[in-house]
Structure formats: structure tokens, C-alpha cells
Structure 1
Amino acid sequence: MDLAGLRVVKAVADTGSVSRAAEALHCVQSNVTARIKRLEEELGVDLFLRLSRGMEPTPAGRVLAGYADRVLRLVAQARDAVAEAAGRGGRLAVGSMESTAAVRLPPILAGFHRDHPDIDLTITPGPTETLLAEVLAGRLDGAFVGGPVAHPDLAAQPVFEEELVLAEPAAGLTRESARHTLIAFGRACAYRGRAETAMREAGRLPFRVMEFGALDAILGCVAAGMGVTVIPRSVVEREPWRDLLAPRALPEALARMPTQFVRRADAIETGGMRAFLEAVTDPARFGSPAGRMPAPLAGATVSPTSRTGLNGLTAAC
């Protein structure tokens, strides 16, 4: 049993197919099949069931795939730790919600890059549920996600709290039906559930949802009068959206949304990750387009605005 064999086991278990595993590993299918057969002979057990629809791990295969996942993550962490010790900086793969990446991260990343230019940092945007899965799978070292997180394999650190608002076009909606059109990310987004609750509490029933995969596409469609969305106030207050969108306050129970940085609980904290967390949690590194400092989660307060409530919102729209 070697690392190459463990990579094959994990790839087949993750993809459920020899062909997809070979594609992920950039090798031919015969190599994948031969590796699996060799491991099965070595261990004296069947690792996968050969089905018409693909490959399914046996109980023994699931156990080995779990160990393979842990071993390969430790190898990657060891490689990064050695690179750091040798003064080569190391690597960090971080995920983020699009709104966080657009508004909160630029000043943090600027300071981090200035202080640690040798660390190879990549940022992958995505919705919360997808990012959580990527962290659990070890493909991301950590991620900024929305809402409370409770998972035995994850460590979550609150970083700041957003105020969600109902964003409408400053120029007004183009038609009555637009009041009942929610423009949003897919259901994997942490804000989606809050947005649907806001529509129901506003009495905008029935409502339809237009899904988009990019933040600027959502904001552009709202600005054009096609519908409404629920988004952090910090996004609405940046250019060019501050002149194109009208933010309306939500009840506090819907408005408060914590942003947390999550990592695997069993991950070894590298120097690069430690430095990144220091940059994230140092309030002096935060900035916002409106010139306000986003409050840390523990002491966060919703921006003082006149609150008409959702029923009042409906009447005003």
C-alpha cells in the first residue's frame, strides 16, 4: 500500500467511477483498475462493488477511503510545513461566499499579501453548503461561510456579522410582478433561506425565484427593476450599487447573519494559516466601501435605520 494506491481508492470512492477517477488523476483507466485489484489482493478483501452504474465502496472500501483521506491530507500539510520551514512560504486554499469576497476580503488580502508575499494564497468563491463540503473533503484549507455551523469535524471561528437588507431598484420596479420576484443564488447559499422567509413575511405570495450564479448578475438584474434580493448592506453600499439599489431594513431576527471561518477540526495549523487568521481577526485590517468598520460578531450591532417592518415595506413598494 502506497500513496498512489490511496489516491486511487479515494478518487474512485469520491467519483463512483473508474473513468471519472482516471480523469481526476490524469491517468488511463487501466492504471486505476490495476491499482484497485492490486490493493484488494494485498488486503485480501473486496474494496468496491462493480455495478452497472459504476463502483460502490464495500464496508472495507469505505474504511480504507476514510484513512486515505486523512493520510493524504496529512501528507499535504507536511509538505506545506516543510516549505514554510525552508522559507518558501507554503500554500493556502481558502473559500468564500461571493459577497464576502467582494466586500470584506480585499483589504484583508492586501494586508496579508504585503506581510506574507511568499505564501501562495488562492480564493475560491462559492455558496456556503458547497464550501463546507470542500473543507470537509480537504480540498480547501478553510472558508468564509454564512450562518451558525455545527459539525463534529469542523472548527468554526466567528469573524464578523452582516446586516442583511431587502435590496430593490432605486429607480423602482418595472412591473407589479417584480415585487413577487426574488433574485438569488441557489439553495446552497446561506442567504437564500432568509430571503424566502422575508418574502413570505412581507406577504409577497406567491413569489417566484430567479437563480443566478454570480453576485453582479443578481445585483444588475435588481437594479434593472426585474425583482428584489436579500443581500448584506455592505454590498449595497459599495460602488456602483449605492446609487442603483435601495436597501430596506429587515426585522432583526432576519437581518443578523454571522460570517464564520471554518476549518477541519483535525487540521494542523500551519504558520501560513495562523498568519491568515491573524489578518482576518485584526480589526485594523478591516475596511468597508462606506468607510465603516464591520463590527466583530460578539459585539455586532445592526446599523441604525428606521425600521418600518416588512408589512410597511410591502405597502411602500
Structure 2
Amino acid sequence: MNVRFLESFVCVAKLGSFKAAADMLHTTAAAVASRIATLEEQFGVRLFERDHRGVLLTRSGTELEPYAEKMIELQTRMFNAIGDPDAFSGMLRIGVIETVAHTWLPDLLSRFAQKYPRATLEIGSDLTPRLRDDLLRGTLDFAILSDEITPGFIENRRIANLAMRWVGSPSLARQFPAGAPLGFQDLAKHPIISFYRESGVYRNIAQSAGASIDLRISFFSSIGAMIDMARSGFGSSLLPVAVMQQDLLDGRLVPLDVTPAPAALPLVASFRMEPASPLAEALVDMARASCEDFIANSPCDVLAR
């Protein structure tokens, strides 16, 4: 049985559309329909019902779906277990959030290059919402994000939960009351430097502050720019400890004890469950190993507790 036909079946089942499945698999709706027709002929049953609402699984189709998913997973595991790394010469398109790009991405790329010397990586760094959209559209095979992706054809694996800390310059820290945790009413006396509005970091700030406090927030999509602004004394900022360790050690940035404590920053590896990315499972293991090594060798405590 052709596993690619099962992949087409699973895509149609998840997306409810031959066209959407074709777009995801980089083929035509006619090709997908032909694969489904072949499967139906082999099994002797109808797998989908088609009506004005779209494409729906039949009872037989519903029974087939978990078996098809296991067959696809088994193919990937078989490739990773006995496949010759030198034989893979394709391209893997990956995207990462800026926190990863500033920390352990170089180590991950080195690990990948050593194991798959003939493979090509196309790498981009962007915001989580954009990376999520690219993964769903099929222009990325693999991404490391700060949120999980919910559609059924995306697999999510948690890598780590990174500690977040409020920080400011030494000159700014001296302007806050000493000896007690700060509240958002204290932070509101100065500008706040935040990630973009759609980010989980900003949601964390907004939810913790509540509607009663009027915060002066400047939004950035660059960690480097946020750190520069915080160093200058412009305002306080909520940042991953992992990206500002040297600034904390050198005293260019000072931790601010703010109540409530900020939520952790999740790192989630997400990949498309299709054979266009047979190395995704291996890349997850490499990402986890690179992250663990970075954490173990960090001079500061970068993990959320």
C-alpha cells in the first residue's frame, strides 16, 4: 500500500477539503482525489461522503484514520532508525522565534549539519503568529514557537519553559521604592518596553496589570532593540533571562522584583505531520539537546521554576 495515498487521506480527513489537502501536499486536488479513489477501491468501501458542507469521513474512514496515522508515523521512525543520513539531500525549512536565534540556534544548526551533511536548511526568525501562519500554509516544515498550534495535522513538542524577568537600568532601578516587591502602579510611573501586541509576553503584562492601571507601553519586535532601550534607562522591560545573562552579570541591567511574578516563556517545537519533512522528529531531539546544553552551561538560572 502506498503510504503517500494514506498521507493524502489523513490530510483530507483533518482539513475537510480536497483542495486544502492538495495545497498542503503541494499537488492538485485531482491528484488527491485519485489517491483517495485508489484507497477506496483497495478497501472496497467509501472513505468520504461529499455534500454541500464539504467532505466528511464515513464510518469506514473514521476507523481507518488512526491506522493511517500510525503507518505514517512508522515510516518516519523507520527512516530515522535505519536511513543513511548521507542519503538525505533535500531541504528543510525551519523558523524560530528570536529568543532561540539569540541563544542555542547555532548549536542546533551544527548538530544538524554533522548528522545530515548533504541536507540544506532554509532558516528564518520571526514572530510566533507569522511562523504559525507559515507552518499552516506549508511554507515552513518546522518551527520553534512560544505557543502550541491546534490544528490536527501539526504536532507540538514542549522543549522548555524559560524564566522571564522584569529588568531596568541601574539608574531606573534607583527610582523605584527599595525593600519591597514592586507593583504595576510602580512600573506605570515609567515607560514599559514590551514585545509586539499579539505576543504572549504582552498578554502577560496586560493581564497582570489589570484594566485599572494606565501603562505607557512601547512595542518592539526585536529583542536587541528592547535590551538597548532598557540599558539606556528609557523604561522597564520583561525579557527572557536567557537572552540578557551577560547584561545581568555586568550590571548593565538590574532585576526588578515585580508582583505578580511573570509567567514563563514556553518553547514549543511544532512540525507538519507529513513526509515532506521526514527529519522533523530527529530535529526535535536535536533541538531539545541543544536547549538542554545551553541551560546547563548558562551562568544564570534561565529555566522557570
The answer to whether the superposition gives a TM-score over 0.5 is: yes
**CA deviation digits over 1:91-130, x for unaligned, max 9?**
99797751322321245336536865728466665639x8
User: Which position in structure 1 is the counterpart of 2:61?
Assistant: 61
User: Which position in structure 1 is the counterpart of 2:201?
Assistant: 191
Contact 1:182 1:227 in 2 (8 A): no
C-alpha separation in 1, matches of 2:192 and 2:293: 41
For the aligned residues, what is the CA RMSD?
5.5
AA aligned to 1:191 is: V
Normalised to the residue count of structure 1, the TM-score between the two structures is: 0.56
C-alpha separation in 1, matches of 2:99 and 2:246: 12
User: Which position in structure 2 is the counterpart of 1:257?
Assistant: 264
CA spacing shift, 1:6–1:113, aligned 2, 3 Å: closer
Contact 1:99 1:232 in 2 (8 A): no
CA spacing shift, 1:122–1:103, aligned 2, 3 Å: same
**CA deviation digits over 1:127-178, x for unaligned, max 9?**
39x87xx7xxxx967856579xxxxx976564x732332679x99xxxx9x9
CA spacing shift, 1:65–1:114, aligned 2, 3 Å: closer
* 1:161 pairs with 2:172: no
C-alpha separation in 2, matches of 1:62 and 1:263: 25
1:46 partner SS: coil
User: Which position in structure 2 is the counterpart of 1:231?
Assistant: 239
User: Which position in structure 2 is the counterpart of 1:77?
Assistant: 77
* 1:295 pairs with 2:301: yes
CA spacing shift, 1:59–1:217, aligned 2, 3 Å: farther
Contact 1:145 1:259 in 2 (8 A): yes
C-alpha separation in 2, matches of 1:218 and 1:49: 53
Taking CA–CA contacts closer than 8 Å with sequence separation of 6 or more, which of the two structures ends up with the larger relative contact order?
2
Normalised to the residue count of structure 2, the TM-score between the two structures is: 0.58
Contact 2:162 2:241 in 1 (8 A): no
Q: Mark the runs of 5 or more structure 1 residues left unpaired by the alignment.
A: 148-152, 288-292, 301-317
C-alpha separation in 2, matches of 1:181 and 1:283: 26
Q: Mark the runs of 5 or more structure 2 residues left unpaired by the alignment.
A: 149-154, 173-187, 272-277
* 1:204 pairs with 2:216: no
C-alpha separation in 2, matches of 1:237 and 1:7: 45
User: Which position in structure 1 is the counterpart of 2:36?
Assistant: 36
2:56 partner SS: strand
Task: Note the C-alpha offset of 1:17.
Answer: 1.4
**CA deviation digits over 1:234-287, x for unaligned, max 9?**
446789xx9xx98773536523626556689xx999877656544432359856
Of stretches 255-264 and 48-57 in structure 1, the one that deviates more from structure 2 is 255-264
> Alignment length, in residue pairs?
267
C-alpha separation in 2, matches of 1:256 and 1:5: 43
CA spacing shift, 1:210–1:7, aligned 2, 3 Å: farther
CA spacing shift, 1:110–1:46, aligned 2, 3 Å: closer
Superposed, which structure 2 residues align to 1:303-314 within 5 Å? none
C-alpha separation in 1, matches of 2:91 and 2:4: 23
Of stretches 67-76 and 109-118 in structure 1, the one that deviates more from structure 2 is 109-118
C-alpha separation in 2, matches of 1:238 and 1:9: 51
AA aligned to 1:66 is: P
C-alpha separation in 1, matches of 2:19 and 2:207: 43
Task: Note the C-alpha offset of 1:9.
Answer: 0.5
AA aligned to 2:207 is: T
